[in-house]
Chain A
Amino acid sequence: DAGITQSPRHKVTETGTPVTLRCHQTENHRYMYWYRQDPGHGLRLIHYSYGVKDTDKGEVSDGYSVSRSKTEDFLLTLESATSSQTSVYFCAISEGLTSGSTDTQYFGPGTRLTVL
């Protein structure tokens, strides 16, 4: 299994509070991603990173920000959590297309966030 951990694994918070989720990898992969998973929507990309300090928005980025100050960590922040951000959040990593490899994404175990 790819070395990806997410913390916390579960969190309950109140509307309006800031929340930061952490993704940590030990694979030295270049690309990192944050997704949210909701019933009927599959996985939707929130933000992604293609290197240290290089990030960009995905399809559902409103209300979220990210930071990547070192290769192994990718942080997702909800500045002021809302009930619509109750979801399961997955981090993924990828080496990207390199000689002899595919661009497979490997997923972390997920963080279940509830915003009351």
Chain B
Amino acid sequence: GEDVEQSLFLSVREGDSSVINCTYTDSSSTYLYWYKQEPGAGLQLLTYIFSNMDMKQDQRLTVLLNKKDKHLSLRIADTQTGDSAIYFCAESRRNNFNKFYFGSGTKLNVKP
């Protein structure tokens, strides 16, 4: 919703790296988030990045933020079959009652 866009599908082989991309339009973003949703479950927070950072690494996850191009990416190293899920990016905006704006989600399929 509201100008946060993601590609719908990504398919990778087990052991490869996955890169999920997200673009947004609002320059007043405070934090940008990645959530993971497994079938039949709610959204689980994976990681986040503050809008004045370029990169954040957390074990197998690397988040890159290009503020100039308003582009966010999530790289999963050594992708496992358990990483198969839908991944949502979300942005929060300053002075906006803490509302989030979500992308439509990218379904990651990991083939053995």
Contacts and interface: CB of A to CB of B under 8 A. Distances in A.
Interface of A: 31, 33, 40-45, 48, 50, 56, 58-59, 90, 92, 94, 96-97, 102-110
Nearest to A60: B1
B104 A31 contact: no
A97 B99 contact: no
15 contacts: A40-B104, A41-B1, A42-B88, A42-B105, A43-B43, A45-B1, A45-B99, A56-B97, A94-B98, A97-B30, A102-B31, A102-B48, A103-B92, A104-B48, A106-B45
Contacts of A31: 97-98
B42 to A, nearest CB: 4
Contacts of B31: 102-104
B104 A59 contact: no
Given A43-B88, A44-B1, A109 B98 contact: no
A73 to B, nearest CB: 18
Interface residues of B, number: 24
Contact of B97 (A48, A104, A108, A109): A48
A58 B97 CA distance: 11
Nearest to A29: B98
Given A43-B88, A90-B43, A110-B41, A48 B33 contact: no
Contacts of B44: 107
Contacts of A105: 33, 90, 98, 100
B1 A107 contact: no
Contacts of A92: 43, 100
Contacts of A40: 104
Contacts of A94: 98
Given A41-B1, A41-B104, 15 more contacts: A33-B100, A40-B104, A42-B1, A43-B102, A45-B99, A50-B97, A59-B1, A90-B43, A92-B43, A92-B100, A103-B30, A103-B98, A104-B45, A105-B98, A109-B42
